[in-house]
């Protein structure tokens, strides 16, 4: 990973994936947004509104299309309950973009649900994979809370199928001209139960599927070693 700002963001996301605790039904995705932004800001001050716009490199709810500011990237339309790229669609909002406002290098999406949320996660992947969007590095953290305990067996097999299928569906909704397989991808799923036990998956680009655990780069960050892969 050569992008320093992507490394900053991924450090925080890895920490959240390992430390967020189950707190009943109180939490929603906004808590995750604010926690991420607070930690990142405290460490790296990427959103200094007292400086000129060059100093503002963290952009919440970044729109992929906004006529007033000259942004003209991916557009999307919901048809039959499914989001797809559409030339006459509207902006897709990225939870956070990092870098130059007009061409950010990093796109970050979050979700936090009490169960699997297929279409929401497919849409997040879709925006992060879309070649029309300028990101060189795409990162996501999808947290699944369980009111009970983590379950194995047939349930786990089914969940892992849903995870792989979400990525496949996102790719299928993009044409060959729209799908960008050159992006660095750090897509992380965390499932957390009522006792805050957890397990993780990450997208492995080499095998084109989600694998157990955190990605290689995460282990390097945690161990304080150089990130080279």
Question: What does the pLDDT look like over 2-34, one tens digit per residue?
Answer: 588 899 999 999 999 999 999 999 999 999 999
In sequence order, the β-bridge partners of residue 204 are: 209
Tens digits of per-residue pLDDT, 118-175? Answer: 999 999 999 999 999 999 999 999 999 999 999 999 999 999 999 999 999 999 999 8
pLDDT above 90 (res 44)? no
Q: How far is it, in rounded angstroms, from Cα 27 to Cα 114?
A: 9
pLDDT above 80 (res 217)? no
- The pTM for the full model equals 0.91
Q: Strand, coil or helix: what is 41?
A: helix
Q: How far is it, in rounded angstroms, from Cα 142 to Cα 226?
A: 26
Give the residue among 85, 161, 155 at the shortest CA–CA distance from 123: 85
Give the residue among 86, 65, 72 at the shortest CA–CA distance from 173: 86
C-beta atoms surrounding 122 within 10 Å: 20
């Amino acid at each position: 990973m050569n992008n320093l700002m992507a490394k900053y963001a991924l450090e925080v996301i890895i920490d959240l994936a390992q430390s967020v605790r189950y707190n009943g039904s109180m939490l929603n995705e906004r808590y995750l947004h604010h926690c991420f932004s607070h930690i990142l800001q405290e460490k790296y001050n990427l959103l200094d509104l007292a400086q000129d716009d060059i100093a503002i490199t963290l952009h919440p709810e970044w729109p992929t299309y906004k006529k007033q500011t000259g942004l003209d990237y991916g557009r999307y339309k919901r048809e039959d309950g499914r989001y797809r790229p559409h030339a006459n669609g509207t902006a897709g909002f990225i939870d956070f973009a990092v870098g130059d406002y007009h061409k950010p290098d990093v796109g970050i999406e979050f979700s936090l649900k009490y169960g699997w949320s297929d279409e929401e996660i497919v849409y997040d992947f879709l925006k992060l994979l879309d070649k029309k969007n300028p990101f060189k590095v795409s990162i996501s953290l999808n947290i699944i809370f369980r009111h009970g305990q983590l379950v194995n067996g047939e349930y786990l097999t089914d969940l892992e199928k849903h995870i792989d299928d979400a990525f496949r569906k996102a790719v299928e909704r993009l044409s060959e001209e729209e799908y960008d397989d050159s992006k660095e991808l750090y897509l992380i799923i965390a499932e957390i139960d009522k006792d805050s036990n957890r397990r993780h998956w990450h997208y492995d680009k080499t095998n084109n599927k989600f694998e157990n655990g955190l990605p290689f780069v995460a282990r390097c960050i945690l161990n304080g070693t150089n990130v080279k892969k």
